[in-house]
């Protein structure tokens, strides 16, 4: 059985590279979602006029890794307290977002966010959006598995 998870946590290169290494993740692809512009290109998304976020779509085997475990990794790989920013990447396309695919994911994401807020790990308010998944537009081929294709790796917090 396969399930899908979609996360926005800054530049999708590093996010994808992190999730590709997780046991139970079958495949990943990077792209754009959460906006109102059809068939966006990277340049369109960078224009800040599409409403889309850079995101990673993850196909995973829930008998090996749970959605809750994916959420735990999501919180650890970025700063969910910075609005429309991760490290030096600034803009709405770099926002922190969980795009849920069903009511169960929504409930788990909301509970996970609440747990993180109560944990005291973050001194600032968590600004992560938890919103329904919308159409996912696959990014250009050169963005797919970027770190695996390039000698110079994209690193992030």
Task: Report, as residue numbers or ranges, the catalytic residues.
Answer: 11
How far is 126 from 117, CA to CA, in rounded Å?
Answer: 7
Q: Tell me if 25 sits within 8 A of 60, measured CB to CB.
A: yes
Among the listed residues 76, 67, 78, 59, the one whose alpha carbon sits nearest the alpha carbon of residue 108:
67
For 86, phi and psi rounded to 5 degrees? -140, 115
Do the beta carbons of residue 10 and residue 87 sit within 8 Å? yes
Residues 116 and 127: their CA atoms lie apart, in Å, by 12
Torsion angles phi and psi, residue 90, rounded to 5: -125, 135
């Amino acid at each position: 059985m396969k399930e899908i998870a979609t996360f926005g946590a800054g530049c999708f290169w590093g996010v994808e590279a992190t999730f590709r290494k997780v046991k139970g993740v079958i495949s990943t692809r990077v792209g754009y979602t959460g906006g109102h512009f059809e068939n966006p290109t990277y340049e369109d998304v960078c224009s800040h006029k599409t409403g889309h976020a850079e995101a990673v779509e993850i196909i995973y085997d829930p008998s090996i890794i749970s959605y809750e475990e994916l959420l735990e990794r999501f919180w650890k790989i970025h700063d969910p307290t910075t609005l429309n920013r991760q490290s030096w990447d600034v803009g709405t396309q770099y926002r922190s977002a969980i795009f849920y695919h069903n009511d169960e994911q929504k409930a788990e994401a909301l509970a996970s966010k609440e747990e993180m807020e109560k944990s005291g790990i973050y001194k600032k308010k968590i600004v992560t959006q938890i919103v329904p998944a919308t159409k996912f537009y696959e990014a250009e081929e050169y963005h797919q598995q970027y770190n695996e294709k390039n000698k110079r790796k994209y690193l992030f917090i």
